[in-house]
A and B are shown apart, each in its own frame.
Chain A
């Protein structure tokens, strides 16, 4: 009696997994099938597309690096429960994920635009967020940094605090223990967090288009070409953008697969 039941269960699991898999993979596959070849061909000759992709990748990289520097300490404090009101702070940090992205762009304008005290000072220093790569980076950071912080927090929480404590009793200052033990042990998770953030950042559209329409990032260029010239002009750009986003993700997965055999805990 048990075997048929088990077979039914396996069948059901496979079926539901297949449904979700198709929902997630078919659209991306269709996009790449329709636009991939044209996109790659266009990549060689279309200067605007090259510039947009370079700008996108560069802004996302800078936003990610800044977030790694500023967000890792926060993730550490949250993971180790060292912040008073840590739960609240953790929830607040994730708020940008809940805001519709064009609204996020407007929120950034209100907080850091020319009319705000901070933005006024920035603008006077020549660091306006409107129509500048700074605006692109800021929008990317705002919408994707929460992904980094929460993934980094998980990665650090997975490292047993006692490794750090042992390092302390062997003479390490808290900072040394963090640098020599916790960060190396969490490094793979931190890298994964950064890659997820980077991929999310390069695909951002809504918040960026409010702050910086020109110079155009790839997502804005894709939408722009859709409005001005139609689907055939937009698809290649979108497909190339997806391929770009998949690059580090694929790299990360293969990294994880090769390291999968290495165990962590004693």
Chain B
């Protein structure tokens, strides 16, 4: 278990301000956040190589705030690997290992054994990352701190390494805290996601919930939600239940939603793939939100198309499949109707 209690630390201009969070034992925690949020500083503080100015680091239930790095059982893997250049690949992997057989086994499982006879200086960025992972795992840590460890791997190698690491982690009950920029990665391996912004924790949630229900506009923006509007939120029902019908008014839009928002100033977030486009206003549906607009831009991105629609003066983005776009014969300047369910409008 990793648990931080009002942790403050400073590294140059990066600063952690009273970070409190918990990753359960054997869970895989994902740390997301814009550049400069203090993600790396967070990992370093947990690993014990960055001085903590106040607060506590608790690992496996023991307060290790003043325990030196080598006795924390937490291995740190940097994005830039930092393989020891004066040692061979095999020596790197064995560096912190107590059991050479185990180290060889780890190397084989991650595919680092094929690199053992290469000089460190000849390895590619991705190969370095694999060796760095093997080196960390070979030291049998109970806690693994990963700083963008797959960033330099090609997509196939990344998926393979990630799943191998995941199964290794589950077998040995390792608690992981993993900094990444890759939302897909966060959704694939993460048990819990932590969003850090400007040195503060802004949201802790399971990754799926995080994308559906970002804590605020900044998180939504950072997570890449296409449609974020600022405005006012009103509760429409009697308000007895936690979940109530809500109405959002702002930026020329009126949107209906359900949720537990107490009302007041806030943001409406709609993911682009939750918006349905149709021609004309014919027919009725169960969707509470119906908006009319004009197509301003159609940008195909792979199998999907990103359609920008001006509703009044406010731009909305809908993500549709390329096929649908062709079936609808969408062109710039067309009048279209946008629909989405109240349950897909997230007010925060």
Contact = CB atoms under 8 A, between A and B. Distances in A.
A170 B121 contact: no
B47 A165 contact: yes
Contacts of B10: none
A174 B68 CA distance: 9
B90 to A, nearest CB: 15
B165 interface: no
A172 B74 CA distance: 12
A185 interface: yes
B193 interface: no
B154 interface: no
A184 B136 CA distance: 21
B48 A162 contact: no
Interface secondary structure of A, over-half rule? helix
B82 A166 contact: yes
A169 B70 contact: yes
Given A162-B78, A165-B69, A266-B83, A170 B135 contact: yes
B84 interface: yes
A169 B74 contact: yes
Contacts of B49: 165, 168-169
A176 B68 CA distance: 13
B197 interface: no
Most buried by B among A160, A166, A264: A166
Given A165-B49, A165-B69, A170 B139 contact: yes
Nearest to B140: A171
B86 A169 contact: no
Most buried by A among B96, B120, B136: B96
Contacts of B139: 169-171
Given A168-B69, A171-B96, A172-B70, A160 B82 contact: yes
A168 B95 CA distance: 11
B48 A168 contact: yes
Interface in A139-173: 160, 162-163, 165-173
Interface string B33-74: 000000000001001110000000000000000001110101
Nearest to B138: A170
Contacts of A173: 68, 70
Interface string A171-212: 111101000110011000000000000000000000000000
B246 interface: no
A184 B78 CA distance: 21
Contacts of A169: 47-49, 69-70, 72, 74-76, 96, 136, 139, 141, 145
A5 interface: no
B128 interface: yes
B70 A184 contact: no
Contacts of A124: none
Contacts of A172: 70, 96
Given A168-B69, A170-B135, A172-B70, A163 B48 contact: no
A165 B43 CA distance: 12
A170 B136 contact: yes
A163 B70 contact: no
A170 B68 contact: no
B70 A266 contact: no
B70 A181 contact: no
A167 B135 CA distance: 10
A266 B124 CA distance: 9
Contacts of B283: none
A41 B83 CA distance: 52
B64 to A, nearest CB: 12
A3 interface: no
Interface in B108-161: 120-121, 125, 128, 135-136, 139, 141, 145
A163 B68 contact: no
Contacts of B83: 266
A182 to B, nearest CB: 10
Given A163-B82, A262-B121, A170 B96 contact: yes
Contact of B95 (A170, A174, A263): A170
A174 B95 CA distance: 15
B84 A163 contact: yes
A171 B70 contact: yes
Interface string A215-259: 000000000000000000000000000000000000000000000
A266 B85 contact: yes
14 contacts: A160-B82, A166-B76, A166-B84, A167-B84, A169-B70, A169-B72, A170-B139, A173-B70, A174-B68, A176-B70, A181-B84, A263-B121, A266-B80, A266-B85
Given A167-B84, A172-B96, A266-B85, 6 more contacts: A165-B69, A168-B70, A169-B49, A170-B136, A174-B68, A185-B84
Interface of B: 44, 47-49, 68-70, 72, 74-76, 78, 80-86, 95-96, 120-121, 125, 128, 135-136, 139, 141, 145
A-B interface, 3 closest residue pairs, ranked by CB to CB distance from nearest: A170-B96, A165-B49, A168-B69
